[in-house]
Chains A and B, each alone.
Chain A
Amino acid sequence: MSLQAFLLLAVALLAVGLYGALSQQSIVMIMMGLELMVNAVIVAGAAFWFYVSPAEPDGQVVVLVAVTLMAVEMAMGFAVAIAIFRSGEIDMTDMAAELKD
């Protein structure tokens, strides 16, 4: 285990999440991609804390913020998904194109 190994894991998770967020059409699947990207931040934050500055708890605070961000993203994402589904049975991003017309 080293800082590089942890960061490589974080980069791989970020890339997988980015692919999902860009390619998926279903709103919930896009949220899954975003979650994977935030998870990469969690892994990288913990690795920086341990391998760069373990005496200060700053890296742990970053991890806590990322975890909170994940909860907020999830709650707001579901609320928006419910609202947009109610307005027009929309569950895919390509169907939500009113602003385009």
Chain B
Amino acid sequence: MVTVSIFSGVIFWVCAVGAVVTGVAVFRVDSMARATFALLASFVFAATPLLLLGLSYLGVLVVLMMIMEMVVMAVFMIMLMMNPAGLMPMTMVHNQRGSLLIAGGTFAVLGTGVFLVDWPQRRGEPAPDVTFALGEALMGSHMLVMLVIGLGLFATIVSSVVLAHPRGRYDRFGDDLKGRPADDPIRGSIG
């Protein structure tokens, strides 16, 4: 049991240091594609402590979601952003000194608080199946959270499509939406 606890402690610290180092690397590397994959590494490192706490479902969920997100992000990088391959040195920063001071100050204040605050004692033990407990909570006592998440995701789908669409209804029908037939580059209501 002691060996297991030492082993998980070592894994935790390796992952914690790895998560922060790769997190810093995101803003230090020259190429945006490399920054994307550094961020992916940071997320995977940060999800491992979740697995150590027994949150197998949420830990794996974070890892899988981040892999998908970062692959999408890499595509966007190459599509839109300058210097995706890192062929030349790149610094695109403003007010670096101020940002460093604010971030360092935040770390110092919150880090001190972590050790000074008298955190509450642990009460109770985890349920035998924590994923089942989470699902039961979401479908029972925390149903409102589930509803808000569902509505929020649906609103995101609609609004992201509206924002990213190149030709909306105002382009097709004019500002008063009364222009008929629609002003399309190709006839037949396909764009």
Q: Which residues from chain A sit less than 8 Å from chain B, CB to CB? A: 1, 3-9, 11-20, 22-26, 28-29, 32-33, 35-36, 39, 42-43, 46-47, 49-58, 60-61, 63-65, 67-68, 70-72, 74-76, 78-83, 85-86, 91-92, 94
Q: Are B99 and A23 in contact (CB under 8 A)?
A: yes
Chain B residues near A20 (CB-CB < 8 A)? 26-27
User: With A and B bound together, what is the CA distance between A93 and B130 in angstroms?
Assistant: 43
Which residues does B use to contact A, with CB under 8 Å?
Answer: 5, 8-9, 12-13, 16, 19-20, 23-24, 26-27, 32, 35-36, 39, 42-43, 46, 49-50, 52-55, 58, 61-62, 65, 69, 72-73, 76-77, 80-82, 92-96, 98-100, 102-104, 106-107, 110-111, 114-115, 119-120, 122-127, 130, 133-134, 136-138, 142, 145, 149, 152-153, 156-157, 159-161, 163-164, 166
Selected contact of A28 from candidates B76, B134, B137, CB within 8 Å: B76
Q: Is the CB of A47 within 8 A of B53?
A: yes
Shortest beta-carbon distance from A91 to chain B in Å: 6
Q: Is the interface of B mostly helix, strand, loop or mixed?
A: helix
- Shortest distance from the beta carbon of A22 to any chain B beta carbon, whole Å: 4
21 A-B contact pairs sorted by A residue (CB < 8 Å): A1-B52, A4-B119, A11-B106, A11-B114, A13-B19, A16-B20, A16-B24, A17-B23, A22-B98, A23-B94, A23-B95, A26-B82, A32-B27, A42-B46, A46-B55, A51-B122, A55-B127, A57-B137, A60-B55, A61-B138, A94-B94
Closest to B5 in A: A1
Chain A hits for B149, CB < 8 A: 64-65, 68
User: In the complex, which of the residues B77, B114, B126 contacts A7, with contact meaning CB atoms closer than 8 Å?
Assistant: B114
CA distance A47 to B52 in the complex (A): 10
Interchain nearest-CB distance for A75 vs B (Å): 5
Cross-chain contact A35 with B122 (CB below 8 angstroms): no
